[in-house]
Amino acid sequence: MKLGTRAYYSNQTIKQRFGFWIGAVIVGLGFLIIVPLYMTEKKDKLDEAENQLQQVVALQSLYIESWTQEKLDTIKRFASSEDAKLHHINNMKKDVENYSRVNSEFAMIFYVDNDGYTYSDTNPSNKKYVGDRPYFEQAVLKKNYISDVMKSKETDTSMITFSAPILDDQNNFQGAIVGIVTLEILDKLMKQLSFGKTGEVFILDSKGKVVAASRTSSKTMLEANMTSEMVNRAAAGSTSTDSYIGFYGKKVYGKYKWSEGKTWIVIGEITENEVFQKLNQLTITVSLIVVAALLLSFAAAVTLASRIERPVRYLLRATKVIQNGNYNYQIDEDKIKRAPIELRELCATFNMMSNKLKTNITLLEHSALVDPLTQIHNRRYMMQEGDRQLQVCMADDKPCSVIMLDIDHFKKINDTYGHLIGDRVLHHIASLLRQYAGADCIVARYGGEEFILLASFKDAQKSVGLAEMLRCCLMENPYRNEEVEIQLTASIGVAEYSSKLAFGTTVLEDMVSRADYALYRAKSAGRNKVELDQ
């Protein structure tokens, strides 16, 4: 055998010997790569899955805690109002109705007197005793209360109850404000919490019953008492990271987190198949590469592939970074200096395009919301940010007004001094408005010589006063340069927030339309006036 082997080896050509040794090296390297890679990647994937689950559970727990605290804060705000302390029930109902227009997550908010009775909206004489309910008992003890998931005695609906005591100025118990949220609202929130293909978040009550889950298919679980190893770990306070059989009977990895006071358990689970899916795909891919390299057996091809693969990897990584919003990402050219010249040129072109893309994106973002002539916000910004500010005022039950301002006889300025001077006049006016309008006002150019201001937390009278001040300010600060002085006046219309829409489809559109009509009346009345929408 030795002589036969020697004879066979002696009769091999250089090409065959080269192929033999390259094949042997590739096979050896394949095993040396695949086995440690598999073991290392397996550990990394487990760590990655554990970290992801830890973050998901922590974030979702914080989300649920924030959500419940927000609901409780709403009830506490109603309970601490003067209307609640003075038993002005009708006023409280109006406050609840105004709140419901913006936030309708509460199925019901109602008042309970200090004797434990709640009254019908339609028939005040029809009262109901709820003094034996936990939320009233806690209110009597002057404590806020968030219930476990419970069943309504009347409708058999699963719900969560929030309550807060009403205390007078001497800290005496006067009754309670109670809010009810059904699990339908919690289900809608949970739909946003899934992650990956199989990752899911569950909310369990303190007894270990699943009350909400993030995937639609999980709704059937809510009526049954489901359990898993993770529930037992949560009850025992275990920190084990081993896989287990989850709620659906599949092998999963999971994490849990108790809420404050141990009212809820948030559990996140992801299947073992998904955790190792990419690892298995990677192992198969590497094996195929080893086989392909073994069949090819050309060192030049291996070297070339290595030199090409690196810059391509950098390019792919760079495109993903740009896809995530970092538009000025640059590839380090020192890392690819040994790559073929075509790839070096491609990376240089990519860097140039990345730099240009960042510049263009910055300009687009700026021009989309800022008027290029006056350098104040434009109409688009007003309709977006103004609507958000208006919603804040509405939610806090605060006043808000729109001020429409039009420069009188601006066409005459353009015709007399030219459009260049007219543009400078507009810039001058915008600077004055921005300087004197105040921090609570959004100032924008609405179009042409028309400007718009959103005065947050100002009612009609205060807004009229602000408008009158701005009108006088324009008169007292004419436009001047070395050659001309141009006196300025403006006609102004003011409209305050109203819940009844007369124009448009949104509250802000309605306010703008009414302020515009008031502006038209100011112009019709002789200009240089302030008119309030009636």
CB atoms within 10 A of CB 401: 28
3-state SS assignment for residue 434: helix
Q: Pick out the chain residues at pLDDT < 70.
A: 1-23, 26, 30, 38, 101-104, 120-125, 151-157, 184-195, 208, 215-227, 261, 279, 290-291, 293-310, 312, 314, 325, 327, 340, 343, 357, 360-367
Those residues whose C-beta lies under 8 Å from the C-beta of residue 131, and which sit 6 or more positions away, are 115, 116, 117, 137
Beta strands in 225-263 (DSSP E): 244-245, 251-258
State the virtual CA torsion across 43, 48, 54, 59 in degrees, nearest 10.
Answer: 180
Phi, psi torsion values for 435, nearest 5 degrees: -75, -40
Give dist(CA 144, CA 76) in Å, integer: 8
Beta strands in 147-291 (DSSP E): 150-151, 158-167, 173-182, 200-205, 210-213, 244-245, 251-258, 264-271
Orientation of helix 14-79 relative to helix 183-190, angle to 10°:
150
Reference 269, options 52, 47, 44, 43; nearest CA is 52
CB atoms within 10 A of CB 199: 23
Residue 74 is which amino acid?
Answer: T
Q: Return the pLDDT at 522.
A: 95
Give dist(CA 395, CA 486) in Å, integer: 44
Question: Sheet holding 244-245: strands in order across?
Answer: 210-213, 200-205, 264-271, 251-258, 244-245
* CB-based contact 267:230 (threshold 8 Å): yes
* CA 269 to centroid of chain Cα atoms: 23
Give dist(CA 16, CA 19) in Å, integer: 5
Reference 203, options 282, 257, 250, 130; nearest CA is 257
Give dist(CA 147, CA 481) in Å, integer: 70
Give dist(CA 332, CA 379) in Å, integer: 42
Sign, CA torsion 106/112/118/120: negative
* CA 486 to centroid of chain Cα atoms: 48
State the virtual CA torsion across 127, 132, 135, 137 in degrees, nearest 10.
Answer: 120
Bridge partners of 15, per DSSP, are: none
Give dist(CA 503, CA 514) in Å, integer: 8
3-state SS assignment for residue 122: coil
